[in-house]
């Protein structure tokens, strides 16, 4: 019900946004005009942080750096494609790469893995340049299946610290938790594989270092078919670059599909401190009214905009619930289930 | 030495004096458990908890069946007070439970069902809220303790809107704004969108909490009714919430099934 109306209204809003020359969010999805200047990501951040003065982070009562609070994702296209790309469509604006190492900003796939990636990319059915042939796989995230490290890129996170734990709560792409023990416990046995893997954290100076194993290799880094496997190990580094910025990096290692370890690096800003994002949000607030007038029903109930006592509360925004029609459409249009890749021995 | 003797004599005298007050066959009530406090002075309920019963299968007393152990039920008074037409629907739900149970579609299970799903949950107390994290789907609940009333409805949320307060050592949670699509168990016990749940989490020892949920829904039931059960603190060294990614398991199974009825 209402599927066509929603599609029509979405198109209308996208056209309005393109005309206005500003990004706009519809039901969690940002739409960008072709004229959007290239969105800065890893190269810009690496240059910026080199000029920052040293920062001594505040401490929690038990004496470790205090990351608590709500942090934005990476912004931009929400990791539609983690490598550098020009404007591909209204949800995939021109954007710098997320990858800081190697220096060319590309994933160092082995020849076999590169061919596999190209095969998936050619069958995404997005209307992107170079697409040919039958549809292969839709992005797992479009089925509301989340994975690390994408949950750190896409949507905000509340970080809560307790002795022995760091907890991260995502609430913009579904409401879910990730718990990182920091008490030195051993990893889970190797036969258990998870979408989020198994995280074990420790402190190195002011940096929270998280080793991730037990990944099931079913998720993607983005929507463009950039993958890892169940052999992949990741090491995250969370460091406060200033009071309102986390310098986040994740190094990915898997000799079965990459020729060398590689690293994504980008800033996560404390919610409400990123002026570019605030301007975009102000614009989106206006068009929420527009879409309400047009009969568009958003997942989230409308909130009063003036003196809102609930402004700091996080409310239920389910992803899987409400995504059923999209799931059916994906399957009927020929996308296959993504079972992960099996590299040659 | 002398002080010790005096103490002993006085102790015996006191014990003797109080003996007649305890009747034959009666034991004195144990002192109520006083929960430890968080740094901001509230009872500390934090940790990893789990129900150990068959409530996830059926809230009422039930016999065993294939794959389901028998259970005495967790409903006070034994039977859920359905209105006649609602009881008919419950029976139909039970007959068609393999296809109608929202848990079979991996949907968020609502409250109180998520509390006694198989698998543990973890409580973390924050200044303005209590965070509950469940192994089931990595789901969360924020129970707001900031004094805000329930937001104005109608709102149809899967997990409802939770507002908490302390009554002594008990965390009392008032939950409204549900949809009508969740069940209470795998046996078809259900409710309407008028569901109002009041949960009570009372610590009874360092390792136990008593959990109660009062369920009110005038569209479905003739009167409010209550479930109660102990929750147990998980004792294993290094216990942690793992992952039950229900939608992923379901989609993977159904995607390649040409006769799947899920995609309709």
Same domain, A262 and A166: yes
A181 at interface of B, judged by CB pairs closer than 8 A: yes
**Range of the structural domain that residue A3 is part of:** 1-36+274-310
CA-to-CA separations, A82 to A269, A290, B51, B238, in angstroms, rounded? 19, 32, 43, 35
What was the pLDDT predicted at A196? 97
- Contacts of residues B54-60 at CB distance under 8 Å and 24 or more positions apart, as own/partner, are B55/B116, B55/B185, B55/B227, B55/B229, B56/B113, B56/B116, B56/B117, B56/B118, B56/B185, B56/B186, B57/B185, B57/B186, B57/B187, B58/B185, B58/B186, B58/B187, B58/B189, B59/B184, B59/B185, B59/B187, B59/B189, B59/B227, B60/B187, B60/B189
Contacts of A179 in chain B (CB under 8 A): 122, 133, 240-241
Tokens of B109: 């299970």
Give per-residue pLDDT as tens, B171-193: 999 999 999 999 999 999 999 99
Beta-bridge mates of residue A263: A101, A251
What was the pLDDT predicted at A155? 87
CB A324: neighbour CB atoms within 10 A? Answer: 14
A145·B248 Cβ contact <8 A: yes
CATH code of the domain covering residue A69:
2.40.128.20
Q: How far apart are CA B164 and CA A286, in angstroms?
A: 33
Same domain, A9 and A102: no
Give per-residue pLDDT as tens, A88-123: 988 888 999 999 999 999 999 999 999 999 999 999
Whether the Cβ atoms of residue B44 and residue B37 lie closer than 8 Å to each other: yes
Same domain, A265 and A279: no
Q: Quick check: A20 pLDDT over 60?
A: no
A169 at interface of B, judged by CB pairs closer than 8 A: yes
What was the pLDDT predicted at A142? 92
Q: Quick check: B27 pLDDT over 80?
A: no
Q: How far apart are CA A49 and CA A220, in angstroms?
A: 28
> What DSSP assignment string belongs to B116-168?
GSSS-EEEEE-SSEEEEEESBTT-EEEEE-SSPPPPPS---BSS-EEEEEEET
Q: Quick check: B28 pLDDT over 70?
A: no
Percent of chain B with pLDDT over 90: 86
Q: How far apart are CA B180 and CA B45, in angstroms?
A: 30
Tokens of B215: 């369920």
What was the pLDDT predicted at A29? 61
Q: What are phi and psi of B94, to 5 degrees?
A: -60, -45
Whether the Cβ atoms of residue A222 and residue A79 lie closer than 8 Å to each other: yes
What was the pLDDT predicted at A240? 98
CA distance A50 to chain B (A): 35
Q: How far apart are CA A39 and CA A36, in angstroms?
A: 8
A339 falls within a domain: no
Whether the Cβ atoms of residue A201 and residue A181 lie closer than 8 Å to each other: yes
Domain total in chain A: 2
What was the pLDDT predicted at A91? 81
A194·B243 Cβ contact <8 A: yes
Q: Quick check: A325 pLDDT over 60?
A: yes
A175 at interface of B, judged by CB pairs closer than 8 A: yes
What was the pLDDT predicted at A277? 54
Number of CB pairs, chain A paired with chain B, less than 8 A apart: 87
CA distance A282 to chain B (A): 23
| Per-residue confidence band for A31, with pLDDT thresholds at 50, 70 and 90 | confident
A98 falls within a domain: yes
Give per-residue pLDDT as tens, B125-162: 998 999 999 999 999 999 999 999 999 989 999 999 99
Same domain, A235 and A96: yes
Nearest to A316 among B158, B238, B255 (CB): B158
Same domain, A103 and A151: yes
Q: How far apart are CA A316 and CA A172, in angstroms?
A: 9
CA distance B52 to chain A (A): 23
Give per-residue pLDDT as tens, B71-128: 999 999 999 999 999 999 999 999 999 999 999 999 999 999 999 999 999 999 998 9
Same domain, A200 and A255: yes
Q: Which of A72-81, A334-343, B32-41, B191-200 has the lowest mean pLDDT?
A: A72-81
Q: How far apart are CA A278 and CA A284, in angstroms?
A: 10
CA distance A122 to chain B (A): 21
Same domain, A152 and A172: yes
Same domain, A165 and A211: yes
Q: Over chain B, what is the mean pLDDT? A: 91
Q: Quick check: A38 pLDDT over 70?
A: yes
Closest B-chain CA to A174: B139
CB A135: neighbour CB atoms within 10 A? Answer: 16
Q: Which of A99-108, A166-175, A255-264 has the lowest mean pLDDT?
A: A166-175
Same domain, A77 and A196: yes
A336 at interface of B, judged by CB pairs closer than 8 A: yes
A193 falls within a domain: yes
Same domain, A299 and A229: no
Same domain, A294 and A256: no
Same domain, A261 and A225: yes
Domain boundaries, chain B: 47-255
More confident residue, A287 or B73: B73
A342 falls within a domain: no
A341 falls within a domain: no
Whether the Cβ atoms of residue B220 and residue B226 lie closer than 8 Å to each other: no
Provide the 8-state DSSP code for A48: H
């Amino acid at each position: 019900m209402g599927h066509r109306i929603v599609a029509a209204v979405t198109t209308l809003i996208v056209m309005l946004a393109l005309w206005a020359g500003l990004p706009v969010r519809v039901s969690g999805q940002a739409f960008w005009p072709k004229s959007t200047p290239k969105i800065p990501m890893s190269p810009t951040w690496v240059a910026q942080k080199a000029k920052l003065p040293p920062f001594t982070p505040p401490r929690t009562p038990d004496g470790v750096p205090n990351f608590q609070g709500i942090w934005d994702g990476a912004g931009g296209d929400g990791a539609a494609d983690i490598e550098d790309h020009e404007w591909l469509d209204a949800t995939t604006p021109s954007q710098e790469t997320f990858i800081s190492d190697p220096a060319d900003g590309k994933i160092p796939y082995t020849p076999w893995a590169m061919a596999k990636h190209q095969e998936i990319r050619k069958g995404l059915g997005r209307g992107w340049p170079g697409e040919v042939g039958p549809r292969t796989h839709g992005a797992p995230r479009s089925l509301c299946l989340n994975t690390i490290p994408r949950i750190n890129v896409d949507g905000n996170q509340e970080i809560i610290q307790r002795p022995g734990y760091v907890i991260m709560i995502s609430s913009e792409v579904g409401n879910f938790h990730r718990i990182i023990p920091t008490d030195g416990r051993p990893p889970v046995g190797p036969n258990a594989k998870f979408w989020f893997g198994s995280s074990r954290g420790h402190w190195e100076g002011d940096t929270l270092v998280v080793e991730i194993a037990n990944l099931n290799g079913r998720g993607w880094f983005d929507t463009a078919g950039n993958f890892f496997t169940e052999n992949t190990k990741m090491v995250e580094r969370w460091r406060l670059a200033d009071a309102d910025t986390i310098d986040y990096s994740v190094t990915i290692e898997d000799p079965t599909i990459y020729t060398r370890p590689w690293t994504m690096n980008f800033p996560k800003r404390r919610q409400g401190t990123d002026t570019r994002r605030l301007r975009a949000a102000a614009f989106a607030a206006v068009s929420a009214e527009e879409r309400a007038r047009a009969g568009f029903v958003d997942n989230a109930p409308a909130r009063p905009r003036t003196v809102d006592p609930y402004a700091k509360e996080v409310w239920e925004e389910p992803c899987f619930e409400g995504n059923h029609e999209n799931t059916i459409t994906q399957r009927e249009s020929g996308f296959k289930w993504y079972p992960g890749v099996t590299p040659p021995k | 030495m002398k002080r010790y003797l005096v103490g002993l004599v006085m102790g015996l005298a006191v014990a003797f004096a109080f003996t007649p007050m305890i009747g034959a066959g009666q034991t004195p009530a144990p002192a109520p458990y006083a929960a430890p406090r968080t740094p901001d002075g509230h009872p500390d309920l934090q940790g990893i908890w789990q129900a150990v019963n068959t409530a996830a299968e059926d809230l009422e007393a039930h016999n065993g069946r294939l794959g389901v152990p028998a259970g005495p039920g967790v409903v006070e008074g034994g039977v859920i007070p359905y209105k006649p037409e609602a009881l008919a629907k419950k029976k139909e739900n039970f007959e068609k439970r393999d296809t109608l149970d929202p848990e079979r579609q991996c949907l968020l299970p609502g409250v109180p069902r998520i509390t006694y799903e198989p698998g543990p949950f973890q409580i973390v107390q924050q200044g303005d809220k209590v965070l509950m994290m469940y192994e089931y789907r990595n789901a969360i609940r924020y129970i707001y303790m900031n004094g805000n009333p329930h937001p104005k409805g109608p709102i149809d949320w899967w997990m409802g809107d939770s507002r908490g307060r302390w009554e002594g050592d008990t965390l009392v949670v008032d939950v409204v704004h549900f949809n009508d699509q969740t069940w209470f168990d795998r046996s078809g016990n259900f409710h309407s969108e008028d569901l109002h749940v009041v949960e009570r989490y009372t610590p009874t020892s360092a390792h136990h909490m008593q959990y109660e949920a009062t369920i009110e829904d005038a569209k479905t039931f003739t009167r409010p009714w209550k479930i109660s059960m102990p929750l147990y603190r998980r004792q294993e060294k290094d216990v942690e919430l793992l992952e039950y990614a229900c939608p992923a398991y379901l989609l993977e199974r159904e995607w390649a099934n040409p006769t799947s009825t899920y995609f309709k």
